[in-house]
Chain A
Amino acid sequence: MKHYSPLQMIRNSTFPISGVSLLKWGGMLVLLLFPILAWAQDAATQAMSVEYRDIPGIGSRNIIWIVAQQHLLLAGFVLGVPIFAWICEIVGWKTNEPRYDKLAKEFTKLLTSAYATTALFGGILLFLLIGLYPKLMAYLTDIFFPSFIAYCILFILETATLYMYWYGWDAMQGRKKALHIFLGLLLNLFALGIMIVPNAWATFQASPVVIADGTAIERAWSAMQNPTWWPVNIHRLIANVVLGGFICGAYAGVRYLLAVTKEEKEHYDWMGYVGNFIGVFGMLPLPFAGYWLMREIYQYNQQMGITLMGGFLAWLFILQAMLIGVLFLGANYYFWLGIAHRIPGSEGQYKKPIMAMLIVLLACLAVWMTPHSLVASLAEAQKMGGTHHPLLGVFGVMSAKMTVSNLMVLVTFMSFIMYWRAGKVETAGWAKAAKGLMGVLLVIASVAVIGLGIWGYFVPAIIRINYFSVAQVLIVLFIMITFTPLTALLMKSAKTTTEMVWGQMPVRAGYSLVLNAVMVILLMSLMGYARSSSRVHWHIYGVMRDTSEYAYSPALGYAAAFMSLNTFVFCLLAAFIFWVATLGDKAKSQPPKDEPVKVPPMGSSTPAMAGGAPTSEETRK
């Protein structure tokens, strides 16, 4: 086949232009285009050298802050929910209790509707980052490009699996349930991949490693394996479960408050209980994961650790203590309300232990919130002999804070055990011995945790951090690991004295579920600010400096106002998404009076965004 140049093609055509005139016109065109081409080249060169762009008024950093926060919160929910939805489904499958399957499906319905919004915010974030921070993004792209491809593949796989998981829910009941459970496993594995790949980009910014020569994949892989990658992965994985659990709890809480029928009240009361349980279950190991992360940060760069814990961010940890404290109180309060209102007659029986637990929690919270250095006037500081209060200063150090955080975890765990045992009488012959053993272990554990905390004042910090704090954590974990199966065995043969009554919780129970969700969202926002601010004026710590006008870290008050705004926007967004997700249900529950109820055929349901897939009950009909 013969190839012609464009000029030859024009010459060979029947277009009435001679070769000479063509050259004339061409010459004129080049002359005309020359300034435009030169301008384009200048613009391209200029564009290549642009380091930052700004959005007047709101500022580039603020818009990234809002969009990134919304994306992260949605992503946390979307990645956390499949974990417990899948576990719920397995429980329903193994116990043959349809209500667990229905609950798992309801969780997944919320997930599908939130998934697209998460992706939408991810896309907006990406465009904004490329546009507003081109220099940083060029650098990260140069290092991480192979991981971008991996991320895209994972995203496609996750999306495809989610569609099959959701739309195949009813079709894969019965003999095909195992296949559906396998899909759930795949969904969670891909979700894990989707979480850890971007975590590598973010953690590289905080704890970069020097990139040696090598292939693109080798460079990306060495950058991914930075010191804080896995601590953040583990911390986020657990935190996503907590976020997902408490948000589902809040959703159930609001639906409970709005419920009209008895069935609705019962269902959403139960769903709220499960959401709160999942949140608390995830929350118990979370402080330990956080401790590991902080330890790794200190080991990576002591200056960064000091900036976080002792520098301008020190007060942030007082706010963190307050939020965690309120969360612990809220979660426990919900358990206690459950004992009082779902198990008639138990209120009086558990009044004293509940009061004791409340006092311990409040005392622990007070210690946790005690600052290391007090805000004092010069005269006050002179009286105290410094900014450390002679008495309260003792509680402001890490040894005390580690001790009380472990105690709060212990109390919350015991609150759950108490709820589990309420309304039942153990019938096993060894029940008395088991309860006695648990009592002794609990006392020994509490004394050991407090004893190590006091001893921690008299040993070098490295001994306390490496041995004492770890021992405290292990003691609490030991209690949780031994008490849970022991109680399960006890309850297996226990006689129920009072049947649990669902749908009788007071209005404040719904509000406490909402409060817990708000606390978790605020906590995630707060710690996101801490992680970002610990890099101080670096985009990539020690490697690429932030030279924009936003290179400073704002003070806590300003940041907190922003966090509150972000939390409020997220709450509205979540409310809208969940409202859309349940539109299909409302339509189904109110069929037109003149039309018989029709069971929609499989595959003809409304899209996942509307959450309108047929319910399991409909399919069973």
Chain B
Amino acid sequence: MSEVALLQLLGMSVVGLGICILLFIKSKFLRVLGFVIIVLGSFSLTALSVPQMASLPPAIESFDIASLKSPDDLASLGQKIFFSKGQCALCHSIGPSHSARCPDLAGIGAKLAPEFIYESLTNPQAYVYLDYRHDQLPEEYPAQMPYINKNPIALSKPEIYSVIAFLQKMSGEPITIKVEDVLNQEPDTKELKVAGHARANDAGNIILAQSSDMVVE
């Protein structure tokens, strides 16, 4: 018997019990309880009659840095970090957005040199980007850029380089980050002070969360 069938049987039993209470029990308080369980049973049965979908978590992908062969591999890895461990998409949009709390990153790889992007990620207060979207004087964005190489995000150097490669590729630029440079970087051995969804590098392995997915049972 499937879980749905079992729950349906249970729901019908509850409704039946409620009807029996209303038919045969005189106590007013128990009759109210019987009425309540009829309502609750009917609600459960209705919910069981609509499509039953559950949201399953995506698999966690473990990535070996040594498998990086081309700049495109780097950019692909950077894209995954951008939308997961890096938490960049929490504030930044790629393309115009009414609700962006930080600069739009569309075309940023073409506008800024990789060294500048690296500095923006690891020393974000060195140069504060202003919001020029409005007609009035430029304002600061509402959210403050965190130090991306420190806790709680704590991206390692290879991870930051991968993100820069993604920003360059996304902007239609040739990727200037070299795979050798990434491979030659010593993976950080720092541990997250507070465990996040992804751990700091461990022997060159990066753990990534894929984007959410929906599964129909």
Contact = CB atoms under 8 A, between A and B. Distances in A.
B209 interface: yes
Nearest to B54: A555
Interface stretch (B62-70, B72-80, B163-171, B194-202): B194-202
Contacts of A254: 29, 32
Q: Which 6 A-B pairs have the closest CB atoms?
A: A545-B197, A560-B47, A537-B57, A557-B48, A564-B40, A555-B52
A138 B195 CA distance: 9
Contacts of A559: 47
A430 interface: no
Contacts of A210: 87, 90-91, 143-146, 153
Which of B55, B150, B152, B196 counts the most A-chain CB atoms under 10 A from its CB? B55
Interface string A539-556: 000111111000111111
Nearest to A250: B32
Which of B29, B87, B99, B212 counts the most A-chain CB atoms under 10 A from its CB? B212
A interface, by DSSP: helix, strand, loop or mixed? helix
Interface of A: 51, 135, 138-139, 142, 208-213, 254, 257-258, 299-300, 303, 307, 311-312, 315, 318-319, 322-323, 375, 510-511, 514-515, 518, 522, 533, 536-538, 542-547, 551-561, 563-564, 567-568, 571, 575
B7 interface: yes
B197 A553 contact: no
Given A135-B195, A139-B194, A515 B39 contact: yes
Given A299-B98, A545-B197, A552 B57 contact: yes
Interface string B177-217: 00000000000000001111110000000000100101001
Contacts of B52: 555-558
B36 interface: yes
Which of A213, A303, A515, A564 counts the most B-chain CB atoms under 10 A from its CB? A564
Nearest to B198: A545
A511 B212 contact: no
A466 to B, nearest CB: 9
A527 to B, nearest CB: 14
B53 A315 contact: yes
B35 interface: yes
Nearest to B153: A210
Contacts of A515: 35, 39
A514 B35 contact: yes
A553 B55 contact: yes
Contacts of A575: 29
Chain B's interface size range is 35 or more
Contacts of B195: 51, 135, 138-139, 544
Interface string B19-60: 000000000110011011101110110111011111111101
Contacts of B212: 303, 307, 536-537
Which of B50, B91, B152, B153 counts the most A-chain CB atoms under 10 A from its CB? B50
A51 B196 CA distance: 11
Contact of B194 (A142, A545, A546): A142
A209 B47 contact: no
B184 to A, nearest CB: 30
A312 B214 contact: yes
B27 to A, nearest CB: 10
B55 A552 contact: yes
Interface string B99-122: 101000000000000000000000
A511 B51 CA distance: 31
Nearest to B196: A544
Contact of B7 (A258, A307, A518, A557): A557
B174 to A, nearest CB: 30
A557 B41 CA distance: 11
Given A307-B212, A557-B7, A558-B7, A568 B36 contact: yes
Contacts of B135: none
Contacts of A568: 36-37, 40
Nearest to A522: B43
